[in-house]
Each structure stands twice: as structure tokens, then as C-alpha cells.
């Protein structure tokens, strides 16, 4: 059965929220016509291994191997090595499963042998038979650092170890000024038929990608419509610290606050019906606003949302080219 929609889509993605959307998207477009540019600001080193949480979440989800309950890690995972690491390390708060470790071992060894993160990402996706193209946002090290009243922490330490607690004062992307987008990133934005920002954290998932030199410009200049799905539902994130990050940075914790972060390139904004009260304010900003059910509790809901997004994206595209 051919995919319902025939167009080339490029998505900018964080982890769990984006993955939930993308699993539906690859049912409504041909997976090989999808390119996902993935945040690597959350990458970190644990026990000497290079871990790319968002890349892994996207890969495992598209491979159908994700732990559906947790949203990250592999299904039917065990944690024997992590437990054993406790003998050698004082801290083992980052959940590395035994099977998952194979990915980190492979990535780390390939990087040490001089491969780029792009090359390793392609190899990992291929090993999992993922047909979409996955691109890390950059092959250079960019680290999302969260400054809270309690201290300055890399993102994983803030979010996983610290459970996202503490008043956020500032977020910065260490290394961003000297980092370049990975090969193909800007081209994938400029050459797509449709750009999608799935419901990812605008500050720490989409934020680092947009902060890379040239990415924002490519989004502004692309002829393709740009559609975003709000990561907030009823003014709150489904999961994660988006609300705390937004308020810490004095950004309105609402779909309007999110839209404003994308205002220079966004065409269509998909919000949950629970946020319909913000419809008028968003329209005043010149956006095409779609309200629908955005909570993806199962694969059917992911497919339904993807269908709405692609339909409206395509409609907008046709309007433009007419």
C-alpha cells in the first residue's frame, strides 16, 4: 500500500514527544522521504561512552523497539551492567540498559576511530532498518547547560538526576558559536516540501537546532511551509520541564509563548483543542492555526495527528504555488 501522501518532509526533533509524532508520520508518508534533524545538545558522556539520548529515542521508536511505557530505551530491557557499574562509580542515575549499551559502545568506538556523528548515526539507523534519514543537528559538540538557582548543570544532570527541579535562570548551548550544522541539515530544510516541528521542548530540544548558524535562516528562507505542533497541552507539557524552562526564561507558558519563539519562520501552528482559547491571539500573529487532539497515547492517535499536519501542510503548499 503506497503512503497516503507523496512529499519530502524534514522534521526537527527532540526525544520522546517528537518520536511519538514521527512513528505516526512514517505511516502517512513514505519513510524514505522523511529526514529528521535531531537535537544533540542533550548528548553526554557516561562511563566513557558517548550517549545521544534524542538520536536513540528517535531511532528506537522508528525501529519499533522503544519501551512504550517509558518513552525511552529499549523494550524488555535489563539493567545488569548499570547495577554492576555501581561497584565502580558513585553515581548510576542515567538509565543505560544492557541492550542499549551496545549502541553506545558502537557509537563511542566509531567516534574514537574518527567517524563523524553523522556517519555513526547513519550506521546505527541502518542496523535497525530505519528507512528515514536521521541527521544529528551537528557533528560538533554542543552541550545544553541549565543554570538554576541551585547551580549550573548539563541537561541530563538537570533533568534526569535533578528531576528538573530548581528555578531556571538561564539556558545556554556550550560550543554553539563554533559549531556547524551537520552536512545536509540546511539542505534538508531548504529542499523539503514540508517542514515539521513535532511537539518537542522549544527551549532545550528545538532551541539548540535553531541556534546553530544558518539553521534559522534556512527555515526563514525555505519555500516549504513550516508546521509546528505545540508541545504544550492546556498550557502544560505532557512530560518534561518545558513549563519550568519557559517561565524561567520569562516566556509566557502557553501556546502563544511557544509560537513567539518560532514567529520568524512558522506558517501553521497545530494546537490541542484544550488550548482553543488562544486561537485568536495566534491568528493575530498571522499564523494558520489548527486545533485538534494532539495527545498521542497510542499509535493510531499519532497517525491521526500526522495526517492532520501533513494535510494542512500540503494545503498550505498548494496555496503558495498557485
Residue numbers at the binding site for a second copy (CB under 8 A): 47-49, 78, 80-81, 83-85, 87-89, 98-103, 105-106, 108-109, 112, 123-124, 127-128
* Residue in the block written with cell 528545538: 206
Work out the angle at residue 268's Cα, subtended by the Cα atoms of residues 7 and 139, and round it to the nearest 5 degrees: 65
- In the complex with a second copy, the residue whose CB is nearer, 76 or 284, is 76
Orientation of helix 98-112 relative to helix 53-62, angle to 10°: 120
Q: How far is the CB of 101 from a second copy (least distance, A)?
A: 5
Conformation bin of residue 67: beta by default, left when phi > 0, alpha when psi is -120 to 50: beta
In a 3-state reduction of DSSP, which class is residue 298? Answer: coil
Q: How far is the CB of 128 from a second copy (least distance, A)?
A: 7
- 24: buried, middle or exposed (CB in 10 Å: 19+, 13-18, 0-12)? buried
- In the complex with a second copy, the residue whose CB is nearer, 76 or 250, is 76
What whole-number distance in Å separates Cα of residue 246 and Cα of residue 258? 9
| Contact predicate 290/269, CB 8 Å | yes
| Contact predicate 241/163, CB 8 Å | no
Other C-beta atoms lying within 10 Å of the C-beta of residue 318: 10
For 9, phi then psi, to 5°, come to -115, 135
Q: How far is the CB of 30 from a second copy (least distance, A)?
A: 24
- In the complex with a second copy, the residue whose CB is nearer, 61 or 288, is 61
Q: How far is the CB of 103 from a second copy (least distance, A)?
A: 8
- In the complex with a second copy, the residue whose CB is nearer, 67 or 272, is 67
- In the complex with a second copy, the residue whose CB is nearer, 112 or 236, is 112
| Contact predicate 81/98, CB 8 Å | yes
- In the complex with a second copy, the residue whose CB is nearer, 120 or 206, is 120
- In the complex with a second copy, the residue whose CB is nearer, 72 or 262, is 72
- In the complex with a second copy, the residue whose CB is nearer, 128 or 279, is 128
| Contact predicate 123/110, CB 8 Å | yes
Q: How far is the CB of 124 from a second copy (least distance, A)?
A: 8
Q: How far is the CB of 248 from a second copy (least distance, A)?
A: 33
Q: How far is the CB of 102 from a second copy (least distance, A)?
A: 4
State the alpha helices, DSSP H only, in the chain: 16-28, 53-62, 80-85, 98-112, 117-127, 155-156, 185-191, 206-211, 215-221, 242-248, 255-261, 279-284, 299-321
Using alpha carbons, select from 304, 287, 286 the residue that is nearest to residue 295. Answer: 304
Q: How far is the CB of 269 from a second copy (least distance, A)?
A: 39
Amino acid at each position: 500500500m503506497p503512503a497516503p501522501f507523496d512529499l519530502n518532509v524534514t522534521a526537527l526533533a527532540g526525544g520522546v514527544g517528537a518520536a511519538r509524532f514521527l512513528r505516526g508520520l512514517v505511516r502517512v508518508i513514505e519513510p524514505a522521504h522523511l529526514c529528521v534533524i535531531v537535537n544533540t545538545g542533550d548528548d553526554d558522556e557516561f562511563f566513557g561512552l558517548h550517549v545521544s539520548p534524542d538520536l536513540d529515542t528517535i531511532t528506537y521508536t522508528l525501529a519499533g523497539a522503544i519501551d512504550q511505557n517509558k518513552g525511552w530505551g529499549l523494550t524488555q530491557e535489563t539493567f545488569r551492567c548499570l547495577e554492576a557499574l555501581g561497584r565502580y562509580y558513585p553515581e548510576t542515575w542515567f538509565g543505560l540498559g544492557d541492550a542499549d549499551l551496545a549502541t553506545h559502545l558502537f557509537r563511542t568506538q566509531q567516534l574514537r576511530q574518527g567517524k563523524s556523528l553523522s556517519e555513526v548515526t547513519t550506521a546505527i539507523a541502518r542496523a535497525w532498518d530505519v528507512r528515514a534519514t536521521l541527521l544529528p543537528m551537528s557533528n560538533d559538540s554542543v552541550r545544553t547547560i541549565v543554570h538554576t538557582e541551585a547551580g549550573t548543570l548539563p541537561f541530563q544532570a538537570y533533568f534526569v538526576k535533578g528531576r528538573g527541579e530548581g528555578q531556571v535562570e538561564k539556558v545556554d548551548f556550550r560550543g554553539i558559536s563554533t559549531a556547524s550544522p551537520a552536512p545536509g541539515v540546511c539542505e534538508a530544510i531548504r529542499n523539503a516540501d514540508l517542514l515539521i516541528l513535532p511537539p518537542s521542548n522549544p527551549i532545550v530540544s528545538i532551541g539548540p537546532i535553531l541556534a546553530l548558524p544558518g539553521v534559522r535562516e534556512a527555515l526563514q528562507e525555505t519555500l516549504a511551509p513550516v508546521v509546528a505542533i505545540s508541545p504544550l497541552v492546556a498550557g502544560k507539557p505532557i512530560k518534561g520541564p518545558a513549563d519550568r524552562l519557559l517561565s524561567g526564561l520569562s516566556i509566557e507558558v502557553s501556546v502563544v509563548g511557544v509560537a513567539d519563539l518560532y514567529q520568524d519562520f512558522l506558517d501553521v501552528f497545530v494546537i490541542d483543542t484544550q488550548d482553543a482559547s488562544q486561537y485568536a491571539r495566534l491568528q493575530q500573529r498571522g499564523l494558520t492555526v489548527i486545533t485538534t487532539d494532539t495527545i498521542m497515547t497510542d499509535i493510531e492517535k499519532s497517525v491521526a495527528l500526522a495526517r492532520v499536519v501533513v494535510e494542512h501542510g500540503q494545503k498550505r503548499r498548494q496555496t503558495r504555488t498557485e
